[in-house]
């Protein structure tokens, strides 16, 4: 990088900070800080979710895996996008109708205050750790691109501005900067793609020079085989239905239908975007075949192919991907602490002003925690493994108790929920750390354990019945807000167009699954069927949000 590149980066950081100052005036209540006053529109929401979803883990971690193992890692993003559609059509509308701010808040409505506090505390640590992973990958990439090796200096460059603008403007500045950052990261990826493809001799060069099977989307053996696709799809559904960092934006949507549209659109726009970091990862295999650290593949491509001055713009795009993820999750942790722990347990008589102050203070403290966790990531075996370990162990049981049993079976009580969650997490820890299971198996084991233990404990203990559970069951159908605003979104469609779109969506899903299972037999048509099914699925999902 030369002086002009550093100036571009500096100006970008300055603009982001200035946004924080502007939006500081917009934050008059805790709802403004957490949820942008529940005014986010579908396209803003889609950009915000996409910006949070795409980060340097995509450009560094996933591209690095593509370098080593070939294209199948793209399913991590693609199935995540498919999961966003499921969440947008069937789950988020219920949460949005309940006007909750956090997933633990839903757990109190559904089970008990104890479950809320328990999960909230666990999630504060889980999100803080994830933030550390995000920061760590940003630093590694920046070291490679700039040639400037100081870990601490990069940590500070990434942290200071994002912590400040999140403290000042809360979700308002997170939303606005996320939209700018989404455009910047997509723009910089569009600069990179043709340069990389021309360097390897375009598509024919790529297919000729890559090792056999590197472009096979569904493999029948190896770490990233068809079982990986199923496991990561299940994890994706869990992520899209219970991840606070992601869903908080949807809770901030202007109404139920906008929440559904925002999630579906986010899934659709991130799908072609994934090719913009996976293809460079594959091309790096041809251009730099003997890299000791695959994570440095895309950063190396950038430094060797992008001319100075343009390099600054591309770095700004990469920085954007990271800042949006950090700001969103920082805001998420602050919301969980201020809403689920401070307001709910520590100071029940807190005024809105007190809560706002605490939320800002917690954003600062979690920012410091994120920096400390970033130093721990290499000790735990690299960014990717650390992230996958955490989500596999802690998220799947939460999905089981919150969504599967929380929304589908009234008989499940708080004892069952807590027991199922702990049993699921412990089974994951034993599997990972004592038996060295891979994350595919850990996913199935944690989900299976929670699925079995939760109803057993519930059926052995007293049945609960309260008006809040009835309110949740009512939210599965409709809300007063929708009736009042004459903008009803029916989860089960009422019109022919709505039913037809749901049929298209379901057909796409079935074709996708058939494609994946055909991949297990090594069929040459498997990839075409799975990708075709995915596209049909997206089309059906999109039309569903525009029909009734």
Partner 1 sequence: MYFDWITWTIWLIGFIILIIWIFIPAREFKKLVMKKRSEEKNKGQTK
Task: In angstroms, give the least distance from the CB of 50 to partner 1.
Answer: 8
Q: Under the criterion CB under 8 A, does residue 193 sit at the interface with partner 1?
A: yes
466-505 residues near partner 1, rule: CB under 8 A: none
Q: Which stretch binds partner 1 (CB under 8 A): 147-155, 174-182, 224-232, 311-319?
A: 174-182
Q: How far is residue 441's CA from residue 228's CA, in Å, rounded to a whole number?
A: 9
Q: Under the criterion CB under 8 A, does residue 269 sit at the interface with partner 1?
A: yes
Is residue 229 within 8 A of residue 517, CB to CB? The reply is: no
216: left (phi over 0), alpha (psi -120 to 50) or beta: beta
Q: Which stretch binds partner 1 (CB under 8 A): 114-122, 189-197, 405-413, 503-511?
A: 189-197
Query: In terms of Cα–Cα distance, which of 86, 541, 76, 488 is closest to 270?
Result: 76
Within 13 Å of residue 432, how many CA atoms lie on the same side as its CB?
A: 23
Is residue 410 within 8 A of residue 416, CB to CB? The reply is: no
Is residue 281 within 8 A of residue 298, CB to CB? The reply is: yes
Q: Under the criterion CB under 8 A, does residue 179 sit at the interface with partner 1?
A: yes
The single residue among 214, 279, 384, 445 that binds partner 1, judged by CB under 8 A, is 279
Is residue 146 within 8 A of residue 1, CB to CB? The reply is: yes
Q: Which stretch binds partner 1 (CB under 8 A): 78-86, 98-106, 192-200, 528-536?
A: 192-200
Cβ distance to partner 1 smaller for residue 50 or 447: 50
Task: In angstroms, give the least distance from the CB of 79 to partner 1.
Answer: 19
The DSSP letter of residue 211 is P
Q: Under the criterion CB under 8 A, does residue 435 sit at the interface with partner 1?
A: no
Q: Under the criterion CB under 8 A, does residue 528 sit at the interface with partner 1?
A: no
Would you state the structure tokens that stand for residue 175, as one six-digit string?
């939303």
Residue 486: count of CB within 10 angstroms of its CB: 6
Task: In angstroms, give the least distance from the CB of 67 to partner 1.
Answer: 18
Cα separations (Å) of 93 from 54, 447, 482?
23, 24, 11
Output Rg (C-alpha) for the chain, integer angstroms: 23
Mask for 38-57, x = binds partner 1 (CB under 8 A)? -x-x-xx-xx----------
**DSSP secondary structure string for all residues of 405-455:** HHHH-TT--HHHHHHHHHHHHHHHHIIIIIS---HHHHHHHHHHHHHHHHH
Q: Is 290 exposed, middle or buried (0-12, 13-18, 19+ CB in 10 A)?
A: exposed
Q: Under the criterion CB under 8 A, does residue 122 sit at the interface with partner 1?
A: no
Q: Under the criterion CB under 8 A, does residue 438 sit at the interface with partner 1?
A: no
Cβ distance to partner 1 smaller for residue 201 or 222: 201
Q: Which stretch binds partner 1 (CB under 8 A): 156-164, 188-196, 226-234, 426-434?
A: 188-196
Q: Under the criterion CB under 8 A, does residue 186 sit at the interface with partner 1?
A: yes
Q: Under the criterion CB under 8 A, does residue 314 sit at the interface with partner 1?
A: no
Dihedral (CA of 532, 283, 54, 72) sign: positive
Would you state the structure tokens that stand for residue 148, as one six-digit string?
């400037």
Q: Under the criterion CB under 8 A, does residue 396 sit at the interface with partner 1?
A: no
Q: Which stretch binds partner 1 (CB under 8 A): 275-283, 302-310, 496-504, 511-519?
A: 275-283
Q: Which stretch binds partner 1 (CB under 8 A): 195-203, 429-437, 499-507, 534-542?
A: 195-203
Which residue bears the tokens 């929401």? 45
Q: Under the criterion CB under 8 A, does residue 546 sit at the interface with partner 1?
A: no
Task: In angstroms, give the least distance from the CB of 215 to partner 1.
Answer: 11
89-118 residues near partner 1, rule: CB under 8 A: none
Would you state the structure tokens that stand for residue 180, as one six-digit string?
């700018």
Q: Under the criterion CB under 8 A, does residue 216 sit at the interface with partner 1?
A: no
Q: Under the criterion CB under 8 A, does residue 330 sit at the interface with partner 1?
A: no
Q: How far is residue 484's CA from residue 486's CA, in Å, rounded to a whole number?
A: 6
Q: Which stretch binds partner 1 (CB under 8 A): 196-204, 332-340, 358-366, 474-482?
A: 196-204
Q: Under the criterion CB under 8 A, does residue 275 sit at the interface with partner 1?
A: yes
Query: In terms of Cα–Cα distance, which of 424, 409, 407, 422 is closest to 463?
Result: 409
Task: In angstroms, give the least distance from the CB of 343 to partner 1.
Answer: 25
Cβ distance to partner 1 smaller for residue 140 or 268: 268
**Rounded to 5 degrees, what angle do the CA atoms 226, 227, 229 make?**
65
- Nearest-10 Cα torsion for 212, 216, 221, 225: 150
Q: Which stretch binds partner 1 (CB under 8 A): 127-135, 186-194, 368-376, 475-483?
A: 186-194
Size of interface with partner 1, in residues (CB under 8 A): 27
Binding site for partner 1 (CB under 8 A): 26, 39, 41, 43-44, 46-47, 176, 179, 182-183, 186-187, 189-190, 193-194, 197, 202-204, 269, 272-273, 275-276, 279
């Amino acid at each position: 990088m030369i002086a002009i590149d550093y100036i571009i980066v500096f100006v970008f950081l300055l603009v982001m900070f200035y946004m924080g100052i502007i939006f500081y005036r917009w934050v008059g209540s805790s709802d403004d800080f957490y949820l942008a006053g529940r005014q986010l529109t579908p396209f803003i929401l889609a950009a915000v979710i996409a910006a949070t979803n795409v980060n340097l883990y995509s450009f560094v971690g996933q591209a690095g895996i593509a370098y080593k193992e070939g294209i199948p890692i793209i399913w991590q993003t693609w199935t995540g996008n498919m999961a966003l559609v499921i969440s947008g059509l069937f789950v988020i509308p219920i949460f949005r109708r309940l006007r909750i701010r956090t997933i633990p808040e839903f757990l109190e409505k559904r089970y008990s205050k104890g479950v809320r506090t328990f999960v909230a505390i666990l999630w504060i640590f889980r999100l803080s750790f994830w933030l550390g992973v995000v920061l760590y990958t940003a630093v590694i990439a920046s070291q490679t691109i700039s040639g400037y090796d100081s870990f601490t200096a990069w940590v500070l460059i990434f942290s200071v501005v994002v912590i400040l603008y999140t403290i000042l403007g809360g979700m308002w500045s997170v939303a606005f900067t996320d939209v700018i950052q989404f455009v910047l990261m997509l723009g910089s990826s569009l600069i990179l793609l043709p340069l990389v493809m021309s360097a390897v001799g375009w598509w024919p060069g790529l297919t000729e020079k890559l090792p056999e099977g590197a472009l096979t989307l569904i493999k029948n053996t190896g770490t990233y085989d068809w079982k990986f696709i199923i496991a990561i799809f299940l994890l994706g559904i869990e992520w899209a239905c219970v991840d606070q960092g992601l869903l908080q934006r949807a809770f901030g949507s202007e109404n139920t239908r906008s929440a559904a549209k925002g999630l579906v659109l986010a899934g659709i726009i991130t799908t072609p975007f994934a090719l913009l970091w996976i293809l460079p990862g594959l091309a790096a295999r041809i251009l730099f075949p003997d890299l000791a650290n695959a994570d440095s593949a895309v950063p190396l491509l950038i430094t060797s192919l992008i001319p100075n001055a343009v390099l600054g713009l591309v770095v700004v795009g990469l920085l954007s991907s990271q800042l949006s993820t950090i700001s969103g999750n920082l805001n998420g942790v602050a919301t969980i602490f201020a809403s689920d722990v401070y307001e709910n347990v520590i100071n029940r008589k807190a005024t809105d002003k007190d809560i706002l102050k605490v939320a800002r203070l917690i954003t600062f403290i979690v920012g410091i925690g994120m920096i400390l966790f970033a130093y721990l990531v290499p000790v735990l075996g690299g960014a990717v493994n650390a992230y996958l370990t955490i989500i596999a162990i802690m998220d799947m049981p939460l999905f089981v108790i919150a969504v599967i049993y929380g929304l589908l079976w009234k008989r499940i009580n708080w004892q069952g929920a807590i027991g199922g969650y702990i049993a699921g997490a412990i089974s994951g820890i034993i599997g990972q750390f004592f038996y060295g299971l891979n994350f595919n198996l850990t996913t199935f084991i944690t989900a299976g354990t929670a699925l079995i233990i939760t109803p057993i404990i519930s059926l052995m203990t007293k049945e609960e019945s309260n008006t809040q559970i009835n309110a949740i069951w009512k939210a599965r159908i409709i809300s007063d807000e929708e009736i009042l605003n004459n903008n009803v979104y029916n989860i089960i469609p009422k019109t022919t167009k709505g039913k037809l779109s749901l049929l298209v969506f379901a057909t796409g899903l079935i074709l996708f699954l058939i494609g994946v299972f055909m991949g297990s037999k090594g069929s040459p048509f498997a990839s075409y069927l799975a990708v075709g099914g995915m596209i049909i699925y997206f089309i059906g999902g999109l039309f569903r949000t525009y029909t009734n």
